Amino acid sequence: MARPELRITVVYCAPGCEDLAELTLPAGATVADAIRASGVLDRRPEIVSAAPDVGIWGRACAMTQRLEDGDRVELYRPLTVDPKEARRVRAEVRRRRS
């Protein structure tokens, strides 16, 4: 049986900042509800312009995903470097050192 209230954590991390909010929301709440209730978008306006991806416990999900008690909603920053390009640069540096 579902609990009438959900305990949710909303997290956003960036270099030099960590924004963590613990909330109690009604059953049936979505990821979007949690983000809105956390106030993280008011405290971190840079998130709004980046249109971040979101996830629950490290797994990507939609803003309409319903939450369960104990979920950790995470807002992800866009990548600053393409992972493939970063590997190429590291390989080139290692090759030059050899």
* 42-69 tens-digit pLDDT: 888 777 766 778 999 999 999 999 999 9
Q: Exposed, middle or buried: residue 10 (CB in 10 Å: 0-12, 13-18, 19+)?
A: buried
The CATH number of the domain holding residue 64 is 3.10.20.30
Which residues are 19's β-sheet partners? 12
Domain count, the chain: 1
Domain carrying residue 39: 5-97
74-98, pLDDT tens digit by residue?
Answer: 999 877 788 898 899 999 999 988 8
What is the percent of the chain where pLDDT is above 90?
A: 60
